Amino acid sequence: MYRIHGKKFQDITQFWLGKGIDGFRFDMAEMVPVEFWSYLNSHIKNTNPEAFLLAEVYNPTLYRDYIRKGKMDYLYDKVELYDTLKHIIQGTGSTDHLVPIQAGKADIEEHMLHFLENHDEQRIASPEFAGNPWKALPAMVVSATVSTAPIMIYFGQEVGEPGAEKAGFGEPSRTSIFDYIGVPQHQKWMNGGKFDGGQLSENEKALRNYYSEVLNFTRNSSA
């Protein structure tokens, strides 16, 4: 059965690789045996060694299997780093927890994708999370500089998107991927197709500049 499904998915991924797609994000990969991913990802990497492979695996005891056997490039660092940083931002967690988290992943840290927002999580600027996008900046610095791991910025995060709309699926605080819904803060940056941030307030521009400075520092600093 795995062989049949593996061949089918191999055909699908090879089709898209042939169209120029250069990466895949796998939803809840830990619900599928690691042998499947080893088979599939080996074929993807054989076709394009630089293909970007990102997966959801939220059981830390499985991280190494899905990286080493499953040949994933990156896994979301959700249940340890993200969850801890969220609690710290909200004033209910301790920075003391960060040291053992990083120590426990020292051998795979470059494969753990850091983030503070994604489509599953609440927007920082939402009242349900922090209510103020500036409150996350210390956590952003930690996420970006604590290791050599990459960090993802979810669109609109850098301009304070609160996810306040009632899109029809779920409740406000997250940006829906299931509805036809805009992302107002991001659209202010787009500015009618000019992509110059022309509709942003000075405060929003300052927030985006801070994110830009942090990201450029991680790219250019010898540290």
**The pLDDT of residue 167:** 85
**C-alpha 21: how far from its chain's center?**
19
Q: How far is CA 46 from CA 3, 14, 19, 66, in A?
A: 18, 10, 16, 18
Angstrom CA distances, 17 to 14, 23, 52, 66, 131, stand at 5, 8, 11, 22, 41
What is the model's pLDDT at position 25? 97
pLDDT in single tens digits along all 223 residues of the chain: 556 677 999 999 999 999 999 999 999 999 999 999 999 999 999 999 999 999 999 999 999 999 999 999 999 999 999 999 999 999 999 999 999 999 999 999 999 999 999 999 999 999 999 999 999 999 999 999 999 999 999 999 999 999 999 888 778 999 988 888 899 999 999 999 999 999 999 999 999 999 999 999 999 998 8
Residue-level pLDDT at 180: 85
Distance separating alpha carbons of residues 110 and 150, to the nearest angstrom: 7
Inter-residue contact 10 to 39 (CB < 8 Å): yes
pLDDT of residue 3: 60
- Cα(145)–Cα(143) distance, integer angstroms: 6
Q: Tokens for 189, please give them.
A: 């940056």
Q: How far is CA 179 from CA 161, 165, 166, in A?
A: 17, 11, 10
